[in-house]
């Protein structure tokens, strides 16, 4: 595979890359750059994770050595699953199985746990070095990576460790590409700034879009890291878990927030743009002739042009996205039928 194609695989379907030129330089200097994505294990995956799984597969196809970091200590700090490390680790094992079910090759993705790093004094020395570069105010701003605001007076002190730990993880693993959703941007920017301060290798930061809750409402401004309306496994009424039956997927989409012609904050349109097109490359609407007949869009841009012009009825796009999600999720559903695994409830 030529170098530009490898760069394209890393960059495609992203919201931001810091920076594309750094990706290009990385592949010029390194045949097998190391990439990672970290997760707090805390329950079942949902269809928003299809964005993540697609990019994980892109990174592997581009020739990256991918580490999937199961951040059990971070989940413990963030009070996930009642703060039970036993339940958190069970959720991490289920998460690993889920990504395998979604086509992330287990032979080419390396899974590591936070508890492997925290047992080393060198790790905590790195955390302290990161923390000494950031003011308390900066650390509190970066705490939005926990899904929490910086002004919550009841937060325990342990949560102040989290941003410095997340930045330190990148250098301790170590990796050249840090990948996450846009809600993790502040942690990655902190890591890049720390790298300049200590003359450590500067990690490339790759960010993909977040999917809004099916219920709509709230805010999700990537610049401010406001993510109170993103799809979350902690709110099953606003998401679609993986696996789900075709009937469950269809019913959830049928009731989803989807104002006509609107793009911003529209979860159905986001699923079309950020899941269906990256996974299937096309979106097909099945309509009676009196409503325009069947039509297929081969790019997100073509779909958006028709949608914003009012040429597509919300119920038609809901039905089309539901059919696509059923096809995309089916291999995972089949995998779990053959490999049952218990997922701790959130």
What CATH number is given to the structural domain containing 263? 1.10.240.10
- 67 and 154 assigned to the same domain: yes
Least confident of 38-47, 218-227, 257-266, 312-321: 218-227
CB environment 195-230: b (16+ within 10 A), e (fewer)? beeeebebbbbbbbbbbbbbbbeeebebeebebebb
Whole-number Å distance between alpha carbons of 10 and 18: 12
Measure the N-to-C terminal CA separation of the chain; round to a whole number of Å.
42
**pLDDT for res 228:** 55
Contact 287, 319 (CB under 8 A): no
Contact 257, 216 (CB under 8 A): yes
Q: Is residue 217 a part of any domain in this protein?
A: no
Residue 342 burial class via C-beta count within 10 angstroms: exposed 0-12, middle 13-18, buried 19 and up: exposed
**Top-confidence residue, 29 or 338:** 29
Q: Does residue 223 have a pLDDT over 50?
A: no
Distances, alpha carbon 245 to alpha carbons 236, 322, 330, in Å: 15, 11, 8
- 240 and 96 assigned to the same domain: no
Give the tokens for residue 176: 């050249």
- 172 and 250 assigned to the same domain: no
- 203 and 240 assigned to the same domain: no
- 98 and 56 assigned to the same domain: yes
Q: Does residue 209 have a pLDDT over 50?
A: yes
- 253 and 197 assigned to the same domain: no
pLDDT tens digits, residue range 167-183? 999 999 999 999 999 99
Q: Is residue 170 a part of any domain in this protein?
A: yes
Distances, alpha carbon 115 to alpha carbons 38, 91, 95, 166, 221, in Å: 13, 15, 16, 13, 32
- 51 and 127 assigned to the same domain: yes
Q: Does residue 152 have a pLDDT over 80?
A: no
> How many independent structural domains does the chain possess?
2
- 263 and 327 assigned to the same domain: yes
Contact 6, 27 (CB under 8 A): yes
Whole-number Å distance between alpha carbons of 10 and 255: 34
- 300 and 166 assigned to the same domain: no
Q: Are strands 295-297 and 283-285 parallel, antiparallel or unpaired?
A: antiparallel
**Top-confidence residue, 199 or 288:** 199
Q: Is residue 23 a part of any domain in this protein?
A: yes
Q: Does residue 38 have a pLDDT over 60?
A: yes
Q: What angle do CA 4, 8, 14 make, to 5 degrees?
A: 155
Q: What is the DSSP letter of 344?
A: -
Q: Does residue 270 have a pLDDT over 90?
A: yes
Q: Is residue 216 a part of any domain in this protein?
A: no
Whole-number Å distance between alpha carbons of 101 and 343: 14
- 183 and 246 assigned to the same domain: no
Q: Which residues are CB-contacts of 154 (< 8 A; sequence separation ≥ 6)?
A: none
Least confident of 24-33, 46-55, 289-298, 305-314: 289-298
Q: Is residue 230 a part of any domain in this protein?
A: no
Q: Which segments of the chain are extended strands (E)? A: 16-18, 34-39, 45-46, 65-70, 109-113, 177-181, 204-208, 241-242, 283-285, 295-297
Q: Which residues are CB-contacts of 36 (< 8 A; sequence separation ≥ 6)?
A: 66, 67, 68, 69, 169, 170, 173, 175, 177, 178, 179
Domain that holds residue 288: 236-338
Whole-number Å distance between alpha carbons of 134 and 139: 6
pTM recorded for the entire structure = 0.92
Least confident of 47-56, 168-177, 218-227, 324-333: 218-227
- What's the chain's average pLDDT? 91
Q: Is residue 224 a part of any domain in this protein?
A: no
Whole-number Å distance between alpha carbons of 130 and 112: 21
- Domain-terminating residue out of 191, 208, 225: 208
- The CATH number for 18's domain is 3.40.50.620
- 258 and 321 assigned to the same domain: yes
Q: Is residue 218 a part of any domain in this protein?
A: no
- 134 and 88 assigned to the same domain: yes
Q: Is residue 115 a part of any domain in this protein?
A: yes
**Long-range pairs for 147-152: beta carbons < 8 A, 24 or more residues apart:** 147/78, 147/183, 147/227, 147/232, 148/78
Q: What is the DSSP letter of 212?
A: B
Half-sphere exposure of 165 (CA within 13 A, CB side): 24
Whole-number Å distance between alpha carbons of 199 and 53: 32
Residue 148: CB atoms within 10 Å: 15
């Amino acid at each position: 595979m030529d170098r530009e194609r490898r760069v394209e695989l890393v960059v495609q379907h992203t919201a931001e890359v810091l920076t594309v030129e750094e990706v290009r330089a990385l592949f010029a200097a390194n045949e097998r750059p190391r990439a990672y994505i970290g997760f707090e294990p805390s329950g079942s995956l949902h269809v928003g994770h299809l964005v993540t799984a697609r990019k994980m597969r892109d990174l592997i196809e581009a020739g990256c050595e991918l580490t999937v970091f199961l951040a059990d200590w971070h989940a413990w700090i963030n009070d996930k699953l009642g703060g039970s490390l036993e339940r958190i680790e069970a959720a991490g094992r289920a998460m690993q199985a889920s990504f395998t079910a979604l086509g992330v090759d287990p032979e080419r993705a390396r899974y590591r746990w936070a508890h492997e790093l925290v047992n080393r004094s060198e790790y905590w020395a790195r955390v302290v070095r990161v923390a000494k570069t950031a003011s308390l105010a900066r650390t509190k701003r970066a705490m939005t990576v926990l899904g929490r605001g910086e002004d919550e007076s009841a937060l325990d002190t342990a949560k102040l460790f989290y941003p410095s730990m997340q930045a330190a993880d990148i250098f301790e693993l170590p990796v050249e590409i840090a990948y996450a959703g846009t809600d993790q941007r502040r942690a990655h920017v902190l890591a890049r700034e720390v790298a300049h301060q200590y003359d450590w290798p500067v990690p490339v930061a790759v960010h993909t879009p977040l999917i809004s809750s099916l219920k709509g409402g709230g805010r999700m401004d990537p610049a401010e890291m406001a993510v109170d309306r993103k799809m979350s496994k902690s709110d099953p009424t606003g998401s679609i878990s993986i696996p789900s039956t075709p009937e469950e997927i269809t019913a959830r989409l049928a009731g989803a927030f989807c104002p006509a012609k609107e793009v911003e904050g529209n979860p159905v349109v986001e699923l079309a743009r950020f899941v269906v097109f990256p996974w299937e490359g096309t979106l097909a609407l099945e309509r009676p002739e009196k409503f325009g007949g069947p039509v297929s869009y081969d790019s997100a841009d073509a779909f958006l042009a028709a949608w914003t012009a009012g040429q597509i009825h919300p119920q038609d796009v809901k039905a089309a996205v539901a059919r696509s999600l059923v096809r995309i999720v089916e291999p995972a559903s089949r995998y779990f039928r053959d490999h049952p695994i218990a997922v701790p409830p959130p």
